[in-house]
Amino acid sequence: MRKRRIIVSMVVVLVAALCIYAGLSRSAEEKTAGDPAQPATKPVVVKTAVATEGGVTPSLTVTGTVAGEKEVQLAAKTRGTITDLHVRTGDRVRAGQVVAILESENQRLTAQKATEQVTAARLNLEKAQIAFERADQLFNQDALSQAEWENARFMLEGAQAAYNVALHDSQLADEMLKETTVVAPFSGSVVACIVEKGQMVFPGDVLVTVIDDSSLKIKSNLNAEQLKLVSVGQRGVFTVDTLHGKEFACTVNSISTKANPANLTYAVELSLQGTGGRDLKPGMFGYAKLQTVEIKGTTIPREAVITRDESGKATVFTVSGGKAVTGYIKIGENDEKNIIVTDGLKAGDKVVVFGQNLLKEGTAVTEGE
């Protein structure tokens, strides 16, 4: 009897628990169904923009190095020891200024001997000229044989040839003596002096490098894609990090028509105006920002693009019927604000420019400010 009462009590407790659970579940369902704030049913607020027919002005920034309009490496033209060195790196020179002198005693003696040989050859030529004139006169009077006349003429021609050789040798010796003195071909700055006084040098050895820094230029190398946006006469500004954003006007002066086979880039030179050689110095590295022409087409804001690859394929979200639709487009040039769409969108289509990270295909959206 006692065991039966225990079983009945357990059944009563179990039934009561099931009733309580059913009531709680029904209450939760009613609360959920009646709550309008559930995110599953609330549209995502996004900001959109309309694709329009317009254009972009691409910004092309290239790196470059400052150089002088003229640069020369002064090299030894003869063998010798540097007896005098009048410049150091950083010195300024003027056109015709003596930069270095090589040992010249041997060349001086050679030039002196050559000069003496010219003098002797000239005297012999004068004697041969007088002798021929006398022989020619006697020959015309039939007082001299044909053979004697021809011998006199032969002696004159030999003396003339000897004089010409001596004169050539003397000029060559003078040139070699002159080459022992190295002079600056133009005014400028010594950017490198790689020799010392007393050093032995040989023909072709570089002594100093001089740059005409009164007129500066920028040397740059552009790839084929960049080259499409560049033309002679194009203007821009050049900046150097160490000069804290100071801008220098520049103009594209020349463009190479042949690529460097080593890196497939094209050499481009830009002239600099109004630098005065005070702020910019040869060898400085910086950035040239060039102005480009406007490119027309269908444009959208740059922030509308979600993904893009090197081939120009990109994705965006468009809005149609209150829902987000993934758009696959192809893009072209861009500037700081907009980008050209070459395929996949037309003027008037709406693209999402804010809130894309909350969207997927078919997400309900509402446009906000």
- Which residue segments constitute the domains of the chain, with CATH numbers given? 46-57+295-367 (2.40.420.20), 105-174 (1.10.287)
CA quadruple 154, 156, 157, 163: dihedral positive or negative? positive
Q: What percent of the chain has pLDDT over 70?
A: 88
Element (DSSP H or E) covering residue 23: helix 2-33
CB half-sphere exposure, 361, CA atoms < 13 A:
4
pLDDT (average), residues 60-68: 92
pLDDT of res. 34: 45
Does the pTM surpass 0.75? The reply is no
pLDDT at 33 over 90: no
pLDDT of res. 11: 47
Q: How confident is the model at residue 106 (pLDDT cuts 50, 70, 90)?
A: confident
pLDDT of res. 245: 75
Instruction: Kindly give the pairing relationship between strand 44-50 and strand 365-367.
Output: parallel
Residue 99's nearest CA partner among 214, 208, 211, 213 is 208
- pLDDT tens sequence across 136-187: 898 898 888 899 999 989 999 999 999 999 999 888 888 888 888 899 999 9
CA quadruple 52, 323, 356, 312: dihedral positive or negative? negative
Q: What percent of the chain has pLDDT over 90?
A: 56
Distance between CA atoms of residues 285 and 354, nearest Å: 39
CA quadruple 78, 83, 84, 88: dihedral positive or negative? positive
Residue 192 contacts by C-beta under 8 Å, 6 or more apart in sequence?
89, 208, 209
Q: How confident is the model at residue 214 (pLDDT cuts 50, 70, 90)?
A: confident
**Mean pLDDT of all residues in the chain?**
85
pLDDT (average), residues 202-213: 92
pLDDT of res. 221: 96
pLDDT (average), residues 65-90: 91
Q: How confident is the model at residue 97 (pLDDT cuts 50, 70, 90)?
A: very high
Helix (H/G/I), strand (E/B), else coil: 221: strand
